[in-house]
Chain A
Amino acid sequence: MHPPAQSIRERFPDAVTGVKEAFGELTVSVRKDRIVEVCRALRDDPAWAFNFLSDVSSVDYPDAEERFEVNYHLYSIDKCHRVRLKARVSEDDCRIESVTSVWAGANFMEREVYDLMGIEFVNHPDLRRILLTDDFDGFPLRKDYPTEGRGWRNTFEFLPTTEGPVS
């Protein structure tokens, strides 16, 4: 179930760039500089009441003008409806405002997107890698990340062995 698409478009005529309904789901594309404002309004307005952030994910479209896409899956526990918000982020300016001020749970989800896709979240309280090690090079979920060969592992230094033959 999802709320009427028209109501969101009317509320934010200049922030919403596209609305799509497919597979019974509503997808709303939002300009990236307005994402926090739209999220907060969707959470606080009783007609929508999106109090629950299900997930934050990201998709890489290497050939698109704005390469990355950040998806926010919102849910309303009271109204039992869902919506997906989308914001496009370009490779040159690979950053978007964090929504941790709206939902505290966004903290880990955004860190994961940062870790694996390399999108920076501005005003995030603790933006560090989360699943990979701090010295990891590259962002594996990007489409240009090599899936063959030894890669990063090849740069490991071997532990020093003991001198001479081991008795």
Chain B
Amino acid sequence: MTDAPTPTTKRSSTDEFGVIQHVPDPNDGDAAVLRTEELLLNMGPQHPSTHGVLRVVLDLEGERILKATPHLGYLHRGTEKLAEGKTYQQIVTLTDRLDYVCAMTNNFAYVRAVEKLLGVKVPPRAEYVRTIVAELQRISGHLFWLGTQALDIGAMTVFFYTFREREILIELFEKLCGARLTYSYYTVGGVSDDLTPEIIAALRAFLKAFPDKIVEYNTLLETNRIWLARTKGVAVISAEDAVSYSLTGPTLRGSGVNYDVRKAEPYAAYADVEWEVPLGKNGDTYDRYYIRLEEIRQSARIVSQCLDKLPDGPVSIDVPGITFPAKDRVMVDMESLIHHFKMACEGIRPPKGEIYCATEAPKGELGFYINSDGGNHPYRLKIRSPSFVHLGAFDHMARGYLIADIVTIFGTYDVVMGECDR
């Protein structure tokens, strides 16, 4: 005779696989019936709002983000290792592929670093042309950000407006150096081509019409309830945290910290023209939007002043061992042909030493650390890219927001994965 099974008071039991089975008790109310647990959600790498191939794993409680872990490296091409096997001029083309929407400023940051190592000063006209082109690139980069950020959040029209003006700038760059995205326009010692009167006329016409266009973008967004609701108070970071997380560019200045490399360590022609650094107060996405819009205005102001003051003269130094000889001389002059050949084969040989050179790119401080052993290619090249550093603060800035805000938080840094993964 077997005992009858004793009635159990436990609310859980194990099944044949040893998995604990919770038996809900209707008398306990909803809390016991509904199962609650944290949800792990993978976002990316193929997602339209990640601006490339960023993958984020989100720990969610309902719609709240508890933790956001970025997984980088989907676009890692080993630029730093590649650079160790290339001559100094060849690396300019690698820098085009970092932040591929603002290639001009990457070129600029790199050639400035090499020039610092060489102790070279470029002619005044080259400084002005460099400033003009870098600021046009900043306008184009910020327009790109504005269009895509608005598109991500749900305002599609802005995208069409900003890309209309961006196209004008890209066509100008195409006239200037022949490329639309990967320019390699800045060379060690100057720039590759001079501004022609035709380009200057087109630029002046652009600058004349541009202020009205900025007003146009603003009317689309300034009082747009959806834009305000989705950017105000989203991705907030305090000034102390922003500095501690090494944020730079509009992301840092949105929190009210006045750090702009162009003002702090003036280079090119920035000290000769009048302009201001716009600062935010709340450190949220709306303030960063405001700052970028204001920076577009300031950039237009800088370009316009530089065009007025544009000095005459060459746009590049002509020093054997640093620059290529002029092409027309190479074709007729034996010495120049030899010089050209040696430059193409051997390249530049900077002195032994190491430098760090920071430049204000549209996204923040773009720094190049070059360690030279006196050879014709860098012993070590380190790129301090703002997008990579900004993503270090992503978890801190995303916690506590709703899952719908994650798109805004991606966009708030103006992250470009080519630069982040290198």
**A residues in contact with B365, CB < 8 Å:** 54
**B residues in contact with A23, CB < 8 Å:** 116-117, 119, 353-355
Tell me whether A133 and B116 are in contact (CB under 8 A).
no
**A residues in contact with B80, CB < 8 Å:** 116, 141
**B residues in contact with A27, CB < 8 Å:** 354
**B residues in contact with A5, CB < 8 Å:** none
B161 at the interface (CB under 8 A from A): no
Tell me whether A108 and B391 are in contact (CB under 8 A).
yes
**A residues in contact with B119, CB < 8 Å:** 23
Within residues 367 to 394 of chain B, which ones have a CB less than 8 A from any CB in chain A? 367, 369, 371, 379-380, 382, 384, 388-389, 391-393
Give A140 to B279 CA distance when docked, in angstroms.
40
Tell me whether A82 and B81 are in contact (CB under 8 A).
no
B213 at the interface (CB under 8 A from A): no
B288 to chain A, nearest CB (A): 18
B318 at the interface (CB under 8 A from A): no
Q: How large is the interface on B (under 10, 10 to 19, 20 to 34, 35 or more residues)?
A: 35 or more
Tell me whether B384 and A73 are in contact (CB under 8 A).
yes
Give A132 to B355 CA distance when docked, in angstroms.
27
Residue in chain A with minimal CB distance to B379? A59
Q: Which of A55, A107, A145 contacts B384 (CB 8 A)?
A: A55
Tell me whether A73 and B356 are in contact (CB under 8 A).
yes
Within residues 298 to 331 of chain B, which ones have a CB less than 8 A from any CB in chain A? none
Within residues 77 to 136 of chain A, which ones have a CB less than 8 A from any CB in chain B? 77, 80, 82, 84, 103-109, 112, 116, 129-133
A25 at the interface (CB under 8 A from B): yes
Residue in chain A with minimal CB distance to B384? A55
Once A55-B356, A73-B369 are accepted as A-B contacts, the answer to whether A103 and B388 lie under 8 Å apart by CB is: no
Tell me whether A25 and B379 are in contact (CB under 8 A).
no
B244 at the interface (CB under 8 A from A): yes
B257 at the interface (CB under 8 A from A): yes
Tell me whether B355 and A131 are in contact (CB under 8 A).
no
Interface centre among B78, B258, B354, B388 (most CB of A within 10 A): B354
Tell me whether B369 and A55 are in contact (CB under 8 A).
yes
Give A109 to B420 CA distance when docked, in angstroms.
12
Interface flags, A21-49, vs B, CB<8A=1, else 0: 01101010000000000000000000000
**A residues in contact with B73, CB < 8 Å:** 129-133
Give A22 to B391 CA distance when docked, in angstroms.
32
Tell me whether B389 and A109 are in contact (CB under 8 A).
yes
Tell me whether A71 and B244 are in contact (CB under 8 A).
no
Once A82-B356, A147-B85 are accepted as A-B contacts, the answer to whether A77 and B259 lie under 8 Å apart by CB is: yes
Once A22-B353, A23-B353 are accepted as A-B contacts, the answer to whether A103 and B81 lie under 8 Å apart by CB is: no
Once A23-B353, A84-B356, A108-B388 are accepted as A-B contacts, the answer to whether A53 and B78 lie under 8 Å apart by CB is: no
A110 to chain B, nearest CB (A): 10
**A residues in contact with B388, CB < 8 Å:** 108, 112
Once A105-B389, A109-B392 are accepted as A-B contacts, the answer to whether A132 and B76 lie under 8 Å apart by CB is: yes
Tell me whether A108 and B389 are in contact (CB under 8 A).
yes
**B residues in contact with A22, CB < 8 Å:** 353-354
Tell me whether B393 and A105 are in contact (CB under 8 A).
yes
Tell me whether A54 and B78 are in contact (CB under 8 A).
no
**A residues in contact with B241, CB < 8 Å:** 104
B245 at the interface (CB under 8 A from A): yes
Once A23-B117, A54-B356, A82-B356 are accepted as A-B contacts, the answer to whether A77 and B257 lie under 8 Å apart by CB is: yes
Once A57-B382, A116-B80 are accepted as A-B contacts, the answer to whether A103 and B265 lie under 8 Å apart by CB is: no
**A residues in contact with B244, CB < 8 Å:** 51, 103-105
B398 at the interface (CB under 8 A from A): no
Tell me whether A131 and B246 are in contact (CB under 8 A).
no
**B residues in contact with A75, CB < 8 Å:** 358
**B residues in contact with A25, CB < 8 Å:** 355-356
B214 at the interface (CB under 8 A from A): no
**A residues in contact with B369, CB < 8 Å:** 55, 57, 71, 73
B199 at the interface (CB under 8 A from A): no
Tell me whether B246 and A105 are in contact (CB under 8 A).
yes
Residue in chain A with minimal CB distance to B391? A108
A83 to chain B, nearest CB (A): 10
Q: Which of B78, B245, B367 contacts A140 (CB 8 A)?
A: B78
Within residues 193 to 245 of chain B, which ones have a CB less than 8 A from any CB in chain A? 241, 243-245
**A residues in contact with B78, CB < 8 Å:** 140
Tell me whether A141 and B246 are in contact (CB under 8 A).
no
**B residues in contact with A112, CB < 8 Å:** 388
**A residues in contact with B117, CB < 8 Å:** 23
Give A71 to B246 CA distance when docked, in angstroms.
16
B419 at the interface (CB under 8 A from A): no
Residue in chain A with minimal CB distance to B388? A108
Q: Which of B72, B243, B396 contacts A52 (CB 8 A)?
A: B243
Tell me whether A59 and B380 are in contact (CB under 8 A).
yes
In the complex, 27 of the A-B residue pairs with CB atoms within 8 angstroms, ordered by the A residue number, are A23-B116, A23-B353, A25-B356, A51-B243, A52-B243, A54-B246, A54-B367, A54-B384, A55-B367, A55-B382, A71-B382, A73-B384, A77-B257, A77-B264, A80-B264, A80-B265, A84-B354, A103-B245, A105-B245, A105-B392, A108-B391, A109-B389, A109-B392, A112-B388, A131-B72, A131-B421, A133-B73
- Additional A-B contacts beyond A105-B244, A107-B392, A112-B388 (11; CB < 8 A): A23-B354, A51-B243, A59-B380, A71-B382, A73-B384, A77-B258, A105-B245, A105-B247, A131-B73, A132-B73, A133-B73
Cβ-closest 5 pairs across A and B: A105-B246, A108-B392, A57-B382, A131-B73, A55-B384
